[in-house]
Amino acid sequence: MLAVHFGAGNIGRGFIGSLLSQSGYDVVFVDVNEKVVQALQQRGTYDVIIAGETTEKQIVSNVSALHSHHQQSEIIDHIARADLVTTAVGPNVLPLISQTIAEGLKKRLTDHPVHIIACENMIGGSEHLKKYVWEHLSEQEQASLKDKCAFLNCAVDRIVPNQSHDDPLTVVVEPFFEWVIETKQVIGHVPHIIGAHFVDDLQPYIERKLFTVNTGHAIVSYLGYRKKYETIHQAMADRDIFADVTNALRESGRVLVHQYGWDEAEHQAYIDKIVQRFMNPSMTDEVTRVARSPIRKLGPNDRLIRPAMKYYECFGEVPTSLAKGIAALLLFDYEGDPEAVQLQQTIKESGIEGALEKYAQLSSDHPLVAEIKKQMFHI
Ligand SMILES: NC(=O)C1=CN([C@@H]2O[C@H](COP(=O)(O)OP(=O)(O)OC[C@H]3O[C@@H](n4cnc5c(N)ncnc54)[C@H](O)[C@@H]3O)[C@@H](O)[C@H]2O)C=CC1
Ligand SMILES: O=P(O)(O)OC[C@H]1O[C@](O)(CO)[C@@H](O)[C@@H]1O
């Protein structure tokens, strides 16, 4: 079995590549990072260190790599033969790899179906990728691929911080992982992936994950940045931040339980486990990594605005802790993050209302806006 995986970064090597290799695939990574590509080509193996109460080393083998820009024709040939194409490049990079995927699909020599799974932190990631790929195909090509290629939405959950080791391929990960894949679009059999959880309808799972893990993580990072903490672990040790995060997760949890009928006690246990994961003493995760790309994270369907809007829609009240998280995001002025710089520029030119209207599609008369502005004085 052959899998082509775009993005040999933290989640690519530390989660997806490792699971696919364990499942019996030959994994060909595609990346722009010369050093990582070369090391994978030379060695064909790397180490994943699982850091929990104890430390365990996993050796990932049967891997190789191609350079995303310099080895286009090889990538296309591999996609033409692949059983699986996966990505973990970040939502903003999906349009940039779509033409290569389209070229590979055009060359498929086999009737054997290929499943394509975008493993990004977003709702409908694979559907978005399909839209970009389809822009490079004629109607006829799209029709002929209908029975040969399926895009499966998924939710991926494993915390893999930025890190640097003497060995550029080694990656330290937390023990927990969850990869939930939607089966609706599957052609033939579901792909063989050990440890993946296949479900008919992904919506409850992706929302539960995005609006708990990612909502909570984002809020710790923005509040932590404000208080000059460097790591998530340090920020979680601050009693006020801990309280703000758990209150915000109670708010998003109330929406999730109301919308999807998750059992209340089970959902609370899910929250508690996530809070423990944020506090894992064996992981050093910088607040600026978790806070990265604040404009994307301020999107109407992303981890802060969507649960806050839903809360207001469902219960007719403004969620104050989620509003505080959004307020903290708006104060994120880290100069090393291009989106933070752009966001601060927009706020300077158009005010808080202007930025919320532009990036969150939140109109200035929405009661959430007044609460966000009020919360900015409490941070
Ligand atoms: N790190 C984590 O804990 C988790 C990350 N994710 C998601 O996974 C995705 C990737 O995140 P990370 O692995 O953390 O980021 P990362 O920055 O470590 O990895 C992204 C990789 O994509 C590569 N890349 C950039 N442009 C490319 C191109 N044109 N062609 C091929 N490769 C390209 C980069 O060189 C990098 O190696 C994001 O959508 C993130 O939200 C999801 C769950 C957990
Ligand atoms: O990867 P993103 O969407 O920028 O956000 C960072 C978040 O993603 C994760 O890397 C994994 O879910 C978390 O650590 C964090 O909540």
Give the C-alpha separation, 79 to 136, whole Å: 15
Residue 109: pLDDT band (50, 70, 90) is confident
Q: Residue 215: CB within 6 Å of ligand 2?
A: no
Q: Residue 213: CB within 6 Å of ligand 2?
A: yes
Ligand 2 centre and the CA of 218: distance in Å? 8
pTM for this entry: 0.93
Ligand 1 centre and the CA of 261: distance in Å? 32
List, in order, residues 6 or more apart from 102 with CB less than 8 Å away. Answer: 133, 134, 135, 136, 137
Q: Which of 81-90, 275-284, 341-350 has the lowest mean pLDDT?
A: 275-284
Which uninterrupted H or E stretch holds 268?
helix 264-278
Look at the alpha carbons of 337, 338, 341, 344 in this order and tell me if their dihedral is positive or negative: negative
Ligand 1 centre and the CA of 32: distance in Å? 11
Q: Residue 97: CB within 6 Å of ligand 2?
A: no
Ligand 1 centre and the CA of 9: distance in Å? 5
Domains and CATH numbers, the chain: 2-201 (3.40.50.720), 204-376 (1.10.1040.10)
Q: Whose CA is nearest to atom 14 of ligand 2?
A: 159
ipTM of the complex: 0.96
Query: Which tokens hold the place of 115?
Result: 């499943």
Query: Is the pLDDT confidence value at 110 over 90?
Result: no
Q: What is the mean pLDDT of residues 227-254?
A: 98
pLDDT of residue 311: 98
Which uninterrupted H or E stretch holds 29?
strand 26-31
Q: Residue 121: CB within 6 Å of ligand 2?
A: yes
DSSP 305-322: HHHHHHHHHHHSS--HHH
pLDDT of residue 80: 97
Cβ atoms of 311 and 323 closer than 8 Å? no
Measured CA distances, 48 to 225, 316, 337 (Å)? 29, 46, 28
Specify the ligand 2 atom closest to the Cα of 292.
Answer: 4
Average pLDDT, the chain: 97
Q: What is the mean pLDDT of residues 286-311?
A: 98
Q: Which ligand is closest in space to the CA of residue 303?
A: 2
Query: Is the pLDDT confidence value at 367 over 90?
Result: yes
Q: Whose CA is nearest to atom 16 of ligand 2?
A: 214
Query: Which tokens hold the place of 164?
Result: 């640097």
Query: Is the pLDDT confidence value at 308 over 90?
Result: yes
List, in order, residues 6 or more apart from 276 with CB less than 8 Å away. Answer: none
Query: Is the pLDDT confidence value at 193 over 90?
Result: yes
Q: What is the pLDDT of residues 30-69, one digit of tens each?
A: 999 999 999 999 999 999 999 998 999 999 999 999 999 9
pLDDT of residue 111: 83
- With pLDDT > 90 as the criterion, what percentage of the chain qualifies? 97
Query: Which tokens hold the place of 140?
Result: 């006829």
Residues in the chain: 379
Ligand 1 centre and the CA of 26: distance in Å? 20
pLDDT of residue 378: 85
Q: Residue 290: CB within 6 Å of ligand 1?
A: no
Give the C-alpha separation, 31 to 208, whole Å: 30
Q: Determine the angle formed by the axes of helices 264-278 and 215-226, rounding to 10 degrees.
A: 40
Look at the alpha carbons of 94, 345, 374, 241 in this order and tell me if their dihedral is positive or negative: positive
pLDDT of residue 314: 98
Q: Which residues of 332-356 are buried (b: 16+ CB within 10 A; e: fewer)?
A: beeeebebbeebbebbeeeebbebb
- Which residue is it, tokens 């080895």? 71
Beta bridge partners of 155: 180
Binding residues for NAD(+): 3-14
